[in-house]
A and B are shown apart, each in its own frame.
Chain A
Amino acid sequence: AQTVTQSQPEMSVQEAETVTLSCTYDTSESDYYLFWYKQPPSRQMILVIRQEAYKQQNATENRFSVNFQKAAKSFSLKISDSQLGDAAMYFCAYRSLLSNFGNEKLTFGTGTRLTIIP
């Protein structure tokens, strides 16, 4: 079974600065997807960014980018120019690609609570 580990329960960053959230995972599979979801106080789960394991190029979405190190099984999220609206719980998630029907579940980490300091 796959596991996802987020070793930073809480992080804080000054507004406009850059912060990196860590995520590691354990799998024996070669093809999979990785995701970062954001959960603001409303508790809705919002997709931030996604990465296909076979792609060497790191995904980027505006101020959000990842550092995907497949050999090290590491998938960190970098938030540049942090804004007050970025304050939330951030979850790293893994999705296998083995199922013929493609209906694989997401396995989540325990989350990192990000605080933005004005």
Chain B
Amino acid sequence: EPEVTQTPSHQVTQMGQEVILRCVPISNHLYFYWYRQILGQKVEFLVSFYNNEISEKSEIFDDQFSVERPDGSNFTLKIRSTKLEDSAMYFCASTFEDSSLLDTQYFGPGTRLTVL
């Protein structure tokens, strides 16, 4: 069964450093998302992406964050200058919109980001 994959599984970085989190969505999916979950808290929406542009972003997704789909398969989240409060689990998700089906967002296993 196709699945969303994410790399790395765990990233440790120093405050102020740039990190890139990578996701490979399911191949025929059209919509892509990033969510984050600070330890012990609920999952929060960051950004959605369709047709090579951002569809919606939350107030968490400020100028330090960016997303791109560089090669038609990968979907990346970049944090330019990490802060301690960026430490969280980051989930990528994808979905294929089909009016005949109940679309569902399929999640990857997550990347645990630790900012020291």
Taking Cβ atoms with an 8 Å cutoff, the residues of A that contact B are 33, 35, 37, 42-47, 50, 52, 91, 93, 95, 99, 101-111
Least Cβ distance of B98 to chain A in Å? 9
Taking Cβ atoms with an 8 Å cutoff, the residues of B that contact A are 31, 33, 35, 37, 41-45, 48, 50, 55-56, 58, 89, 91, 93, 95, 97, 102-110, 112
Task: Determine chain B's interface SS by DSSP, over half rule.
Answer: strand
A-B contact count (CB 8 A): 65
Cβ-closest 3 pairs across A and B: A45-B107, A105-B45, A102-B97
Inside 8 A of B37's CB, which chain A residues have their CB?
A: 43
The CA of A73 and the CA of B37, in the complex, are separated in Å by: 25
Say whether B102 contacts A52, CB under 8 Å: yes
Inside 8 A of B45's CB, which chain A residues have their CB?
A: 105-107
Say whether A103 contacts B55, CB under 8 Å: yes
